[in-house]
Amino acid sequence: MRTLKLLHPLASVLSGSGSSGKLQILIYHRVLPSDDPLQPGEPSVADFTWQMEILKNHFQVLPLSEAISKLKSQTLPARAACITFDDGYADNLHLAAPVLASLGLPATVFVATDYLDGGIMFNDITLEVVRQFKGDQLDLTAAGIDQRYTIGDTTSRLAAWRAITSQLKYLPVEERQNRAMQCADMTGTRLPRDLMLKSEELVKLKASGVDIGAHTHRHPILKTCSDDMAAKEISDNKSTLQQILGHDIELFAYPNGVPLQDYSKRDRQLVKQQGFKAAVSTSAGTSRCDSDIYQLNRFTPWDRTPARFYLRLLKNYLDK
Ligand SMILES: [Zn+2]
């Protein structure tokens, strides 16, 4: 166990009453078997393990639904934290869940249901395109990508992936997927079909003690959707999850999650109308008892050394 002795004086700050009542919610997407230079934001299982040990040792990790109830009733313990995952990657079951179970930590996985059972999200398609490309000039202009990218080392591949992905992200969801598939077809890219959970794996994930939440069906940017499409994305997702799992789904995460940019007041209202008890954004910081229960803040920890990771959590917790 990592004790971070040098940081204990800072940790004592957290026991003060001024910090109680705040809820810190962490966002993860994937946990990888080992470091992937093209996915620097996704921890390896080794890094994820020490991150979870630090959380267990220095924070009070609660199930998200319990934390939200306690937030509303102003009974949250000091240093309250929750762990969440977005999208529904299979590694959440195979790599993250065993670590969580071994440490007795609860978590919630928000699942975009259209990608269950062999699907692949547009950003993972483009990642494989730049990963597998063997030439030095990646020309995807026929798929509507605005320029050619010089491909060489990891840095150039990562830069190309970020540029291509940002061009596609805000397109209508079908066009976004079609263009990404066109990029893969043009370059002869082989696409993995086991990235996301299968339905039976989702049931296993739930059985392992992980809660399941909603994340829309196809992961569109809700703000770009018509009223009907936004409502359908949310309701199809909820009903599919309920059918697979056999129970009500109460928590929702907005795709991409930036308030006003990725979802609007309309979408917040739709989520509430469709019976969700709470929703989470990707706006950084903590939440308090007077926070909007349908727009709780979340925070992505990205540091790769224990001391920096801990300090980042501490800073996020202590910031207003
Ligand atoms: Zn997502």
Task: Return the percentage of the chain with pLDDT > 90, whole number.
Answer: 89
pLDDT in tens, 225-282: 999 999 999 999 999 999 999 999 999 999 999 999 999 999 999 999 999 999 999 9
Give the Å distance between the CA of 87 and the centre of ligand 1. Answer: 5
pLDDT in tens, 155-204: 999 999 999 999 999 999 999 999 999 999 999 999 999 999 999 999 99
> Residue 320: which pLDDT band, with cuts at 50, 70 and 90?
low
- 28, two tokens: 């993860």
Top-confidence residue, 10 or 107:
107
Give the Å distance between the CA of 218 and the centre of ligand 1. Answer: 10
CA–CA distances in Å: residue 283 to residues 25, 139, 233, 295, 300: 10, 35, 22, 8, 10
Q: Mean pLDDT across the chain, nearest whole number? A: 93
| Cα-to-chain-centroid distance, residue 54 | 20
Q: How far apart are CA 92 and CA 114, in angstroms?
A: 17
Give the Å distance between the CA of 12 and the centre of ligand 1. Answer: 35
Give the Å distance between the CA of 256 and the centre of ligand 1. Answer: 5
Give the Å distance between the CA of 66 and the centre of ligand 1. Answer: 22
Give the Å distance between the CA of 26 and the centre of ligand 1. Answer: 14
Give the Å distance between the CA of 135 and the centre of ligand 1. Answer: 31
Residue type at position 194: D
Residue 32 pLDDT: 98
Give the Å distance between the CA of 103 and the centre of ligand 1. Answer: 26
Give the Å distance between the CA of 215 and the centre of ligand 1. Answer: 7
What mean pLDDT do residues 7-15 have? 47
| Global pTM value | 0.94
Give the Å distance between the CA of 300 and the centre of ligand 1. Answer: 13
Give the Å distance between the CA of 294 and the centre of ligand 1. Answer: 17
Task: Return the percentage of the chain with pLDDT > 70, whole number.
Answer: 93
What mean pLDDT do residues 213-224 have? 98
- Judge whether residue 69 has pLDDT over 50: yes
Residue 318 pLDDT: 86
Task: Compute φ and ψ for 97, nearest 5 degrees.
Answer: -60, -40
Give the Å distance between the CA of 27 and the centre of ligand 1. Answer: 10
Asked whether the CA dihedral 253, 258, 262, 265 is positive or negative, the reply is: positive
Q: How far apart are CA 185 and CA 198, in angstroms?
A: 24
Residue 292 pLDDT: 97
Beta strands in the chain (DSSP E): 23-28, 60-61, 80-87, 108-111, 137-139, 148-150, 211-214, 251-253, 278-280
- Judge whether residue 8 has pLDDT over 70: no
Give the Å distance between the CA of 8 and the centre of ligand 1. Answer: 35
Give the Å distance between the CA of 22 and the centre of ligand 1. Answer: 24
pLDDT in tens, 146-160: 989 999 999 999 999
What mean pLDDT do residues 72-77 have? 95
**How many Cα atoms are found within 13 Å in the side-chain-facing hemisphere of 113?**
24
Q: How far apart are CA 316 and CA 297, in angstroms?
A: 11
Give the Å distance between the CA of 82 and the centre of ligand 1. Answer: 17
- 183, two tokens: 């990029």
